[in-house]
């Protein structure tokens, strides 16, 4: 850390300067320097206290909860057939036909 050295004129410190006079802004308006933490104003978007339900809701809306975006998918019959073939799955019709055939075979063997 840099060391700050005082500049003096005789016994008077001229740097760093401590002003006992009022401080003014660029427009010449007097600026009050807060002397207590309670006098500080947070004009940023940073939450510096207990967040309200509204703030929590705003934060939660931006949180990514999963790396996979889930969206409804609408496939044509041809796209469904291709997808089933890709994963080796049977169609509803194939399953229904297999169950019907199994029932028929079971009934025929009992008779």
- What is the DSSP secondary-structure string of the chain? -PPPPPEEETTEEEES----SPEE-TTS-EEPPP-SGGG----SSS--SPPPHHHHHHHHTT----SS--------HHHHHHHHHHHTPPPHHHHHHHHHHHHHHHHHHH-
Q: Identify whether 89 is part of a domain.
A: yes
- The parent domain of residue 100 ranges over 84-110
Q: Identify whether 6 is part of a domain.
A: no
Inter-CA distances, 89 with 59, 73, 81, 82, 92, Å: 42, 17, 9, 10, 10
pLDDT at residue 69 in the model: 66
User: For 25-50, what is each residue's pLDDT tens digit?
Assistant: 778 788 777 778 887 777 766 656 66
User: For 12-27, what is each residue's pLDDT tens digit?
Assistant: 776 666 666 667 777 8
Q: Identify whether 74 is part of a domain.
A: no
Tally of domains in the chain: 1
Q: Identify whether 7 is part of a domain.
A: no
pLDDT at residue 57 in the model: 66
pLDDT higher for 40 or 96? 96
Q: Identify whether 90 is part of a domain.
A: yes
């Amino acid at each position: 850390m840099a060391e700050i050295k005082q500049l003096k004129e005789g016994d008077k410190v001229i740097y760093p300067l401590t002003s006992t006079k009022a401080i003014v802004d660029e427009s010449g308006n007097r600026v009050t320097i807060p002397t207590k933490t309670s006098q500080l104003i947070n004009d940023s978007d940073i939450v510096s206290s207990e967040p309200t339900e509204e703030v929590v809701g705003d934060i939660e809306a931006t949180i990514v909860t999963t790396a996979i975006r889930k969206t409804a998918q609408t496939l044509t019959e041809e796209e469904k057939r291709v997808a089933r073939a890709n994963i080796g799955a049977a169609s509803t019709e194939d399953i229904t036909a297999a169950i019907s055939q199994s029932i028929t075979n079971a009934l025929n063997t009992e008779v």
